[in-house]
């Protein structure tokens, strides 16, 4: 079954939805989790080539990611986390390959029509280009 699950988180309510499902799956399979947040602001997209410092937004993203990881660890799971920088879909796919995950589990927003084209591009690209299975859970309504 699954032993290493990548969970992209975006610092939104969608994170609660996917983490609730993935925690149960990880408990059942004994999988370890890799939480990944992709910082995609200007500073993040140019971080390496311009040798920039982490922006305040990136520092907040890192703190959020660490807090999520601590919360999941408190539930008895093995969790690592990684702050990636750049295009979200490309970075999720890159990290999945580098870390040899065997499942990507992510939340979707359930957009329709034009909103899906504008806002659902990350999930759509990951779904089409991933070399491992992708589990998509629709975000629960507020």
Q: Residue 10's domain is classified under what CATH number?
A: 3.40.50.620
| Token pair 């879909």: residue | 89
Collapsing DSSP to helix, strand or coil, 54 comes out as coil
Q: ∠136-39-93 over CA atoms, to 5°? A: 45
Region 18-27: what's the mean pLDDT?
Answer: 96
Number of structural domains, the chain?
Answer: 1
Strand pairing class (79-85; 4-8) = unpaired
27-85 pLDDT tens trace: 999 999 999 999 987 777 776 666 667 778 889 999 999 999 999 999 999 999 999 99
Prediction pTM value: 0.88
Which strands sit side by side in the sheet containing 79-85, from one edge to the other?
A: 79-85, 32-39, 4-8, 103-108, 134-138
Region 92-106: what's the mean pLDDT?
Answer: 98
Provide the domain limits for residue 125.
4-138
């Amino acid at each position: 079954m699954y032993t290493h699950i990548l969970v992209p988180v975006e610092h939104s309510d969608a994170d609660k939805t996917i983490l609730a499902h993935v925690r149960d799956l990880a408990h059942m399979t004994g999988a370890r989790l890799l939480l990944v947040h992709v910082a995609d602001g200007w500073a993040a997209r140019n971080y390496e080539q311009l040798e920039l410092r982490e922006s305040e937004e990136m520092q907040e993203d890192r703190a959020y990611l660490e807090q999520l990881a601590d919360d999941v660890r408190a539930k008895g799971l093995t969790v690592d986390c990684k702050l990636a920088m750049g295009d979200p879909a490309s970075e999720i796919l890159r990290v999945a390959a580098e870390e040899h995950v065997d499942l990507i589990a992510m939340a979707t927003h359930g957009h329709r029509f034009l909103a899906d084209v504008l806002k659902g591009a990350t999930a759509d690209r990951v779904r089409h280009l991933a070399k491992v299975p992708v589990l998509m859970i629709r975000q629960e309504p507020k």
